[in-house]
Chain A
Amino acid sequence: MTDTSDDIPGIGQYDDFHTIDWQRDIARDRMRHRYIVKKRQDSFWDLLKGAHDAWSGWVCVLLVGLFTGCVAGVIDIGASWMTDLKFGICPQAFWLNREQCCWSSNETSFDSGNCSQWYAWSEIFTSSREGFGAYVISYFFYIMWAMLFALLAASLVRMFAPYACGSGIPEIKTILSGFIIRSYLGKWTLIIKSVGIMLSVSAGLSLGKEGPMVHIASCIGNILSYLFPKYGRNEAKKREILSAAAAAGVSVAFGAPIGGVLFSLEEVSYYFPLKTLWRSFFCALIAAFILRSINPFGNEHSVLFYVEYNKPWIFFELVPFIGLGIIGVSGTGLFRGKGLLNKCVYFHPQGFIATFFIKANLWWCRFRKYSKLGQYPVTEVLIVTFITAVIAYPNPYTRMNTSELIYLLFSQCGISNQDPLCDYNRNFTDVNSAIEIAAAGPGVHKAVWLLILALAMKLVMTIFTFGMKVPCGLFIPSLALGAITGRVVGIGMEQLAYNYPKIWIFSGECSTGDDCITPGLYAMVGAAAVLGGVTRMTVSLVVIMFELTGGVRYIVPLMAAAMASKWVGDALGRQGIYDAHIALNGYPFLDSKDEFQHTTLAADVMQPKRNETLAVITQDSMTVDDIETLLKETEHNGYPVVVSKENQYLVGFVLRRDLNLALANARRIIDGITGQSLVIFTSAQPVQNLGPSPLKLKKILDMAPITVTDQTPMETVVDMFRKLGLRQTLVTHNGRLLGVITKKDVLRHVKQMDNEDPNTVLFN
């Protein structure tokens, strides 16, 4: 028993844009493992090799976590520095952003983050910070820096790694389900995506860096897996490392290791056995630990939105929380015309957020794909950045970094919060006593209007931004949209409680004058609802949210909003945004969540159709020329091998790529092979010895292909494709070969049954 058949180079690898054969790769890995275990007793060196094989998975995942943590730290520091470069510079230490520059200055004024060590651009050129001239200069520099960053990002992506654009999660989902996209997880994509996401975020565009972090982590996982041949040469095993890497990506993006593991389980991975669960947990843990020790934000938390309050919520508040959950996802009735729900939702001014966002974004992406706009990607990026910068600067809530905005909305109004949003008529007496409920001052009203404007602007800009040819993500914009909605609703509830403390819903907790409604909590729930509505995450969303905020007390409201969002979404049957993008791009992704409910049979789906013949190879009666002609005339990816053309009993299945490589290799290396040599797929010696010597290709034949009969219902066949990760299956009738069903046929059939266009399934 030897290791994988390496005498023909290239056998066992896959072509670009092809589906892998899970069964074959898992079988190869088992064979390799058995070989190593058998040889363990031979010598000390072999014992060491056996131990190395056993722990190589853990070592690989450890390295992936280390590098992911480091890269995430670099991206965080770089992005926060470049973001503040739009506003000014710290002359003595130009590497510090505004907050860090003013960190240890011992002035006693409280001027919203500015200090004498930090020079705004207007201060450099006009020596003043206030006034109309200063405003114009600041505006100009803001736009100029934003355009510069966006131009750099778009041109670097176009020049070096076009695969680095977009979010990456739809493609990674497809890759993890068994598709090959070469260079998508390569080193150039890694470098350009890291640099590009720093530049895109700093340009002030309405996007986040969480989706790209998953892509970056997967690139690191892919590159490091090549250090360990157990994973590098086996595509099925490599996907275990990639699942763990995706968990690490979310873990460092949010500072949420457990949420990262659940995200990898729920959203990204296709197969997730227990072994992968342990590995992902370990990887996410290491990555979070490394990021925390780099300490990019100077406050010992790798979390941006750490909220420290622990105020209780009252039972009645579950109603607005569930309402926020429904707002987060509703709006589909309008587009699907489902009667009464249609009318209710239409008049609801906020019933548009998540599903509206998905539909609008898909419409715009489709428009971009098919129209002339798609031919000017760099120009498009520049125009969108210009418009975003021009609209964002005047409104202080859009001018600030989106993460800072979310932090502001999540936090409670206390003594250290000087934003107009917290302009209540309060007397601060003791920092340790409870904050009393108070009437909203004029600052709050102005802030609410500005926030609503910010909501509209962010919604519109994100629709046009997501899908551009720069690295972009959409977790942070969705969280921001939800947080704004939630905070506005929360302030409304709070004022309701202040003005009418005696009504029955507030009785008890609110009548003592203490603050019982926390608008920050509403912001959290709103953010979770919109993110859940957009991406259709459930458990991972709740865990990420409570790890993000540290508010363990708020798990129940978050769960209520997430469940409401999920139920309403499922009832209306819409896809999340990542599945919608997979469908838009035509990736061959067989969704394991949908159920196949039609009653068709295997005979209805198989190739060849009625008027075609099945292209087969016989086991010992075809010559090299015959096979080459067959390869040239047909386009199939594989051919069944039968006993003879008269009785088509199945022998096995052989792939086109393997045939090409084996024939090319034979012609080059083995003497005496001509076009007339017979090709033998059996191990029996052929009788005649006249003519050229035969070519034995039994090694490349798969002698155990999965077969079904023609009367097998398609439900079972689809289930087999999902559970076993098949690439094709052979259809037999009364023991004889009848046809082939490939994954592409299954995908087309599913689309046809759902009354969608089957020709949108591209690739193999």
Chain B
Amino acid sequence: MYRKLLYSISLLIIFHIASTQSQSYEDKRCKCICPSFKTVDNTTQEGTDRMLIIDNVPPNKCNCDGVILPRIAGKIKGKGQEICPRCDCKYENRNTTIIKVVVIIVIWIISLLVIYMLFLMCLDPLLNKRVKANYQEHTNEDVIIASDSISSKHATTSINGPSRHFRDSYRNKFSGSFDDTAVTVSNGQDMHVRENNVLNRVGHQQDKWKRQVREQRRNIYDRHTMLN
């Protein structure tokens, strides 16, 4: 979405540019600021704006003689030495490659995050609905459990191996211990099929992360216990 906008705008710009002047994007410059000519010569036709002169010269030439006098030689008519003390020259350096790399990285990261966010908001619930229909026993993490007795019964039906899960004990106040280990409990047969799948492990991590984020969201946005 963001990139499409950028592309369309750049297309528009290309149509507007009739002739490309020679654009300069160097990394070094000598920047000189001078007052207007009226301060030295009352008869000149120039305006009263200050002058800004930028040129690409080595640092030892970044002074009045090297930069300003060549530029304004025609207009100055011999008053060059008077305007020189009023001018201020500075040599500056930058690195456009770093800027380019960083900006492109930032655009990439934001695009990836936006795409992932859209995926989680729109496509993930659709995918999960189909998968969840296969489970016969299904627990809803959002239900707040009052006691541990139910949990100990369910824990014994979990399977050994990389997909072993422990029941987390939710309590309605903060004084309890909050185990943020994963929770999904399901029927035995389906688990065996998916057990050693790498995708299963990734999905398990993603579920755990989603649960953590949901808990954070509940703390901050709903219960307002933190970060007010």
Point out residues on A near B: beta carbons under 8 Å. Answer: 15-17, 73-74, 77-78, 81, 89, 91-96, 100, 103-110, 116-117, 119, 124-125, 127, 152, 155-156, 158-163, 165-166, 171, 181-183, 188, 191-192, 195, 198-199, 294-296, 298-300, 365-366, 368-370, 374-375, 377, 414-416, 418, 427-432, 467, 469, 581, 584-586, 632, 635, 637, 656-657, 660, 762-764
CA distance A77 to B100 in the complex (A): 9
Note all chain B residues with C-beta closer than 8 A to A165: 220, 227
Q: Which residues 79-99 of B sit at the A interface, judged by CB distance below 8 A? A: 85-88, 92-96, 98-99
Chain B interface category by residue count: 35 or more
- Chain A residue numbers with a CB within 8 Å of B16 are 119, 124, 127
B69, CB-defined interface residue at 8 Å:
no
- Contacting A at CB under 8 A, from B54-70, are 54-56
Closest residue on chain B to residue A181 by CB atoms: B226
User: Complex: how many Å from CA A620 to CA B225?
Assistant: 41
Contact A124 B105 (CB under 8 A): no
Complex CA gap A182/B125 in Å reads: 27
Closest beta carbon of chain B to A182's beta carbon, Å: 7
Q: Are A183 and B216 in contact (CB under 8 A)?
A: yes
The reply to whether A369 and B177 contact each other, CB–CB distance below 8 Å, is no
Please choose the segment from B44-52, B126-134, B136-144, B189-197 that sits at the chain A interface, where 4 or more of its residues have CB less than 8 A away.
B44-52
Q: With A17-B174, A92-B25, A586-B225 as given contacts, are A78 and B106 in contact (CB-CB < 8 Å)? A: yes
Please state if A431 and B87 are interface contacts (CB–CB under 8 Å).
yes
For B149, the closest partner residue in chain A by CB is A632
Q: Is A415 touching B114 in the complex (CB atoms < 8 A)?
A: no
Minimum CB–CB distance from A87 to chain B (whole Å) comes to 14
The docked-state distance in angstroms from the alpha carbon of A105 to that of B113 is 36
Question: 23 A-B contacts, Cβ less than 8 Å apart?
Answer: A15-B177, A78-B102, A93-B96, A95-B104, A105-B23, A110-B49, A125-B12, A127-B16, A159-B117, A159-B120, A160-B213, A183-B216, A188-B209, A195-B110, A198-B106, A415-B50, A416-B33, A416-B50, A416-B88, A431-B85, A635-B176, A637-B175, A764-B175
CB-based nearest A residue for B110: A195
> In this complex, what residue of A is CB-closest to B212?
A183
Residues A377 and B23 in contact, CB atoms below 8 Å apart: no
The residues of A that contact B49 with a CB separation of less than 8 Å are: 109-110
A182 to B9, CA, bound (A): 43
In angstroms, Cα B220 to Cα A158, docked, is 10
Cβ A171 vs Cβ B227 within 8 A: yes
- In the complex, A91 Cα to B9 Cα: how many Å? 9
Give chain A residues whose Cβ lies under 8 Å from the Cβ of B103: 77-78, 81, 95
In the complex the two chains form, is B23's CB within 8 Å of A117's CB? yes
Kindly report which residue of chain A lies nearest to residue B217, judged by CB atoms. A162
B24 sits at the interface (CB 8 A): yes
Q: Which residues of B contact A16 (CB under 8 A)?
A: 178, 180
Interface: B224 (CB within 8 A): yes
Q: Is B13 an interface residue (CB 8 A)?
A: yes
6 closest Cβ pairs, A-B complex: A298-B94, A95-B103, A78-B106, A110-B52, A162-B216, A91-B13
Instruction: Report the bound CA distance from A686 to B130 in whole Å.
Output: 58
B202 at the interface (CB under 8 A from A): no
CB of B186, distance to nearest CB on chain A (Å): 22
**Residue of A with least CB distance to B26:** A104
Interchain nearest-CB distance for B45 vs A (Å): 15
